[in-house]
Chain A
Amino acid sequence: MAKIELTRIPFIKNALKSRYPQLAVFIVMLIGYIFAILAGLIGTPVGSHNFSIVFVWIAWWAILILVAVPFFGRGWCAVCPIPLPGEWLQHGAVLSPPDKRPKWLNLRVPKMFRNIWLQNISYLLLALFSSVLLTTPNITGIVLAAMLFAAIGLSTVFERRAFCRYLCPVGGFIGLYSQTAPIELRIKDKQVCVTCEGKPCYNGSSAGYGCPWDVFPGGLTKNTYCGLCMECIRTCPHDNIAVNLRPFSADLAKPSTRMDEAFKAFIMLGSAIVYAGVLLGPWGMFKDAAYNVGSSAWFIYAIVFLAIIFVVLPGLFTLGILNTKNTLPLKQRFASLSTALIPLGLMFWVAFSLSFVLTNASYILAALSDPLGLGWNLFGTANAAWLPMLTSILAPAQTLALVVGLVWSARTAQKSANEAGTSSMPVVIYCFVATSLMLWLLL
């Protein structure tokens, strides 16, 4: 299927290349983010009426998982405000590079951390506390502030966007799932890069900064680590970089054999299943265990959660693929075949999120008018009643999402099984069983 080069359209190219539209979006996002921190810290402790909970875990999450990731890959990363203050300090400017760059340490992140294991861990840390995080404004405020200050701190010590690439809990799964998106940033002609001197796309120039994501654009074959920041489009002297529209999940045709990514797929799959059961199920005991952090019930919950993610799910998967005829060693087969869990996991999250987003979206109206719970009514919607939305289409939408996810993952399994010279049946059956489980939990 054909790729459509979007940057061939002058309007799009100029909009992406110019720093002004991007900066305008950045300023709005940063102000919103800081406001969310303040709202969390000093606003009403009631989550449903606090801007921080409503706009982070309902509005932003909905846009992220239902729109940004499936359709724009790392599109959120392109506008995220977290790295900005640190990066502006690091660069010594908010627009084009200044004549005199400030002297920060600019250390390279040590090799042992140059993978997504830290991101797996930071995501799990949040996930284990999610019941408290999602419902308590001051905790959300603290976590948002912590990420902002961590990013600033890391920017003063390490080069580029160290927080984004190696620590951000959200970036870990956005990167993994961005492989399914129909948008990509790639070079146009490899030969041009071969003869290019200085590689300003990676090293920076007077026109722009070297890739903040520590990616060499010339070698980009997948979306996973490209944050769509557009610096390389600005610095490339040969106009050799394009943003393309392409078929969904084109990247998954080249399965990764990295264990950190493979486990990320299991982490996301497992946490979607656990959340569907604990948060949306009728079993109060599990909710109590998840919420009462520090109690013995919570420790058991945490251990079970981690066991599902690190032992049960990968274990069953491995058993399934163990005895199939193969050309790759088990470890690589495991990683390569687990690529099928990427579209599956994405659709699990879509199906799960649809439920609580449609249920609670009406809180957005009230939080807009009275973000801090001080009795304001900025837009007249402060007394908007709670009203679940589109409840009649929720179940069919979840079925559609999960069945599409299953088809998608089965197709992906077939492709990577082909590559690995093995049968895709165990993976397909695994995906089918997981999908049935998720259907049972959600419907």
Chain B
Amino acid sequence: MKRAELISRILIVVGILLAVGAPLFFWARTPLIHARMAEDGGWNPDVIQAEVGKPLHLKFTSDDVVHGFAVGQMDMQSVDILPGKVTDITLNFDEPGIYTFFCTRWCGLNHWRMRGTIEVSGSSSDPEPATVPLYVSLKLDLDAPHDAPVVPNGKPLAISGQSLETNLPIDQSAEYYRSHSPYEVFESLQNTPLTDGQRWNAVAYFWQSNTTSESLANGRQLYAQNCAACHGENGAGNGVFADDLVQAGEASMQSMSGAMNMMMQAPVDFTDPRRMLGASPALLQGKILRGGMGTGMPMWGSIFTEQQIWDLTAYIYSFQFEYEK
């Protein structure tokens, strides 16, 4: 065979081997965590191993739409995971345990189901005792109806309640605020000479004084990022996924005989005074922590810190009360 032919053949074979081998080699060596819409598999892999004190380097990419990443109950900024691009994240864990990571950019109806776990091994230096949520210690039935028998005409004004506040027999402790519904506080004022309207205003003011502006701002942002898609940007239960949830519920009605209140359904309307004024912050906290048990309401227990949930509940009540700006 002539030399030119031989060299050409070698070049061709080497070229083909490179064209096949190089991509395969680099692809096999790049450990990527793929993010996909929950309907298409969610996180892959969805269980990650880590060790206390050892930095965890992760590479994420999205296979379809914009996703985000954050670890629940850790003080971290969420990071966007963009389609076709790679995001590098380094995490450090001080305490062992099972952490939940989750998607932070809405990616479809089942966005909230897009979660995974990081199993952190190692020894604990500062073990925190587990605390029982308030609704458990109060023995609240989260699924029992809690409609307020009496509702105000129009939104109570906190500012009007302020002037009435001084001599009212309302326990000012945070414990009292958290374990009583607005209606119960309204009821407790029945032996005062105030009108119903004035009493509601006083309740509104009481609620406002248990709400810092920082808490409200955090709550507003958390609500926008996590709740508005179902519950509506204005709290009316008419978010972009509300119809899909109802449809999913109706589709499953044929297969569910009993528990109809436990199937997917329209998200709660936070502007409904009957329902909301009968709910205490502890009840709301419980619902957020535990989720809806099949109604489509996610459980946030492993995601939000306790403070974040109180911030959210504070914001949710702002749909019922007119707070002073």
Contacts and interface: CB of A to CB of B under 8 A. Distances in A.
Given A42-B24, A374-B30, A95 B5 contact: yes
Nearest to B19: A34
Question: For A30, A44, A366, which residue has the most chain B Cβ atoms within 10 angstroms?
Answer: A44
Contact of A373 (B16, B64, B85): B85
Contacts of B18: 31
A38 B24 contact: yes
B24 A373 contact: no
A35 B19 contact: yes
B62 A34 contact: no
A35 B8 contact: no
Interface string A57-98: 000000000000000000000000000000010000111101
Nearest to B26: A374
A45 B63 contact: yes
A152 B83 CA distance: 35
Interface string B13-55: 0011011100110110010100000000000000000000000
Contacts of A110: none
A136 to B, nearest CB: 11
Top-7 shortest CB links A-B: A49-B84, A375-B86, A46-B84, A34-B19, A46-B83, A38-B23, A31-B15
Contacts of B23: 35, 38-39, 42-43, 372
A27 interface: yes
A38 B20 contact: yes
Chain A's interface size range is 20 to 34
Chain B's interface size range is 20 to 34
A357 B5 CA distance: 39
Interface in B75-95: 83-86, 88
Given A93-B5, A94-B5, A374-B32, A34 B64 contact: no
A50 interface: yes
Interface of B: 1-2, 4-5, 8-9, 11-12, 15-16, 18-20, 23-24, 26-27, 30, 32, 59, 61-64, 83-86, 88
B123 to A, nearest CB: 34
A96 B1 CA distance: 11
A375 B62 contact: no
Contact of A34 (B9, B16, B61, B63): B16
Contacts of B27: 42-43, 372, 374
A330 interface: no
A331 B30 CA distance: 61
A23 interface: yes
A49 to B, nearest CB: 3
B12 A30 contact: yes
A355 interface: no
A31 B21 CA distance: 11
A50 B84 contact: yes
A372 B26 contact: yes
Contacts of A372: 23, 26-27
Contacts of B61: 44, 373, 375
B63 to A, nearest CB: 5
A53 to B, nearest CB: 10
Contact of A48 (B9, B16, B84, B88): B84
Nearest to A137: B84
Interface in A354-401: 366, 370, 372-376, 382-383
Contacts of A94: 5, 8-9, 12
A20 B2 CA distance: 14
A35 B27 CA distance: 13
Contacts of B59: 375
A373 B86 contact: yes
Nearest to B36: A45
A374 B86 CA distance: 6
Nearest to A49: B84
B27 to A, nearest CB: 5
Contacts of B19: 30-32, 34-35, 38
Given A38-B23, A373-B61, A49 B85 contact: yes
A27 B63 contact: no
29 contacts: A23-B8, A27-B12, A30-B15, A31-B15, A34-B19, A34-B20, A38-B20, A42-B24, A43-B27, A44-B83, A44-B84, A45-B64, A46-B62, A46-B64, A48-B84, A49-B84, A94-B12, A95-B4, A95-B8, A373-B61, A374-B26, A374-B32, A374-B86, A375-B30, A375-B59, A375-B61, A375-B85, A375-B86, A383-B85
A342 B16 CA distance: 38
Interface in A120-148: none
Question: For B11, B23, B63, which residue has the most chain A Cβ atoms within 10 angstroms?
Answer: B23
A366 B20 CA distance: 21
A39 B2 CA distance: 35
Given A38-B19, A44-B61, A45-B63, A27 B2 contact: no
A17 to B, nearest CB: 15
Contacts of A39: 23
Nearest to B18: A31
A27 B83 CA distance: 32
A27 B11 contact: yes
A376 to B, nearest CB: 8
B10 to A, nearest CB: 10
Nearest to A47: B84
